[in-house]
Amino acid sequence: MDFFDLHCDTITSAMQRSVDMTHGYLDISLPVNREIVRHCQCFAIFCPDTIKGEDAFNYYTMAKHYFRDQLAEYPQYFEQVNTAADIEKITKSGKTAAILTVEGGRVLGGKIGRLEKLREDGVKMMTLTWNGENEIGKGSVEQGFGLKPFGIEVIKEMERMKMIIDVSHLSDAGFEDVIKNVGCAVAASHSNLRSICGHRRNLTDEYFKEIIHRGGIVGINFYKGFLNENEERASLDDIVKHVEKMLLLGGENTVCMGSDYDGCDVVDGIKKLNDVTKLYNIITKEFGENLAEKIFWKNANRFFAERI
């Protein structure tokens, strides 16, 4: 099988624990099990809401250096993606193709010029918020509040420079501000459907259809609390339910995977990346091999190939 994953927190998790990216503690530990023939992984630099201003940008810089050090230490296992052609080239060599992303636009420290710095570093996608408030706007904790004037400036600049706008974690009002102010396709890197699990972090059916309309993508999140309102009962069957509803809404070319590995309590059965073949087999059985290939690789690969 092939696996293109739109989101993990492995960089931050490993850095905070002072371990390298081959450590067995991690959900994503290199090298990847070769049952996964092609592996493209979006590695997010996650900046918590408690870190603010210049400290947030400095935190980003520290995590970026950690990531680069790991690339230099383990060139036989993974390589950073800079162009669309890199995904094919890197995965063909048997290595993980690593796409650098950012979770939490607070890393800009309120300075629009830092988007250019992120682009120079190879960042291809950025969520505007995490759960709380930053200089850009407010996250899902405060649904009635959207983007600030600086946030509108940020999304317009991201559209101009072709950095992918990631609406996961954003408030509903923030999502609506995005679709009012830019015309580009957007991603929800790790979000499920609110009609299946009513958590505020999940997308409404209407927002999911708007992402379809724009040619965007949505990554299924493996976190128990976004799969089932009763976390203790969450199972792989809940992933099937979210996928099924997304397909019914017209998302055949939209549904992807956005595991959130190393950032949450992942549902039983796929606790580690090397277990994800179990999910692939379930999805293949339920929806057929062609759809499974789209969901696990083709949709995300096409989307990024057209934009980076």
Would you state the pLDDT for residue 276? 98
Cα separation, 185 vs 111, in Å, equals 24
Q: What pLDDT does 144 receive?
A: 83
Query: Structural domain tally of the chain?
Result: 1
Helices (H), 162-272: 172-181, 205-213, 224-227, 236-248
Looking at residue 85, the DSSP 8-state letter turns out to be: H
Tell me how far CA of residue 40 lies from CA of 3, 56, 298, in angstroms: 6, 27, 11
- Where residue 29 sits, what CATH number does that domain have? 3.20.20.140
Q: Residue 162 belongs to what domain range?
A: 2-305
CB 47 within 8 A of CB 102: yes
* Alpha-carbon span 57 to 223, nearest angstrom: 27
Query: Which backbone phi and psi does 234 adopt, to 5 degrees?
Result: -60, 140
- pLDDT reported for residue 85: 96
Q: Tokens representing 50? A: 């408690």
Q: Is the bond preceding residue 31 a cis peptide, omega within 30 degrees?
A: yes
φ, ψ for residue 138 (rounded to 5)?
Answer: -120, 145
Q: What is the dihedral of CA 286, 292, 295, 299, to 10 degrees?
A: -140
- Contact assessment for residue 36 and residue 1, using Cβ atoms and an 8 Å cutoff: yes
- The residues near 176 (Cβ < 8 Å, ≥ 6 apart) are 146
The residue count of the chain comes to 308
Whose CA is closest to 34, among 93, 74, 100? 93
Distances (CA, A) of 64 to 9, 14, 98: 13, 12, 13
* Cα distances (angstroms) measured from residue 246 to each of 20, 38, 226: 36, 25, 15
- From first to last of its 308 residues, what are the pLDDT tens digits of the chain? 999 999 999 999 999 999 999 999 999 999 999 899 999 999 999 999 999 999 999 999 999 999 999 999 999 999 999 999 999 999 999 999 999 999 999 999 999 999 999 999 999 999 999 999 999 999 988 888 999 999 999 999 999 999 999 999 999 999 999 999 999 999 999 999 999 999 999 999 999 999 999 999 999 999 999 999 999 999 999 999 999 999 999 999 999 999 999 999 999 999 999 999 999 999 999 999 999 999 999 999 999 999 98
- Rounded distance between C-alpha atoms, residue 198 and residue 109, angstroms: 32
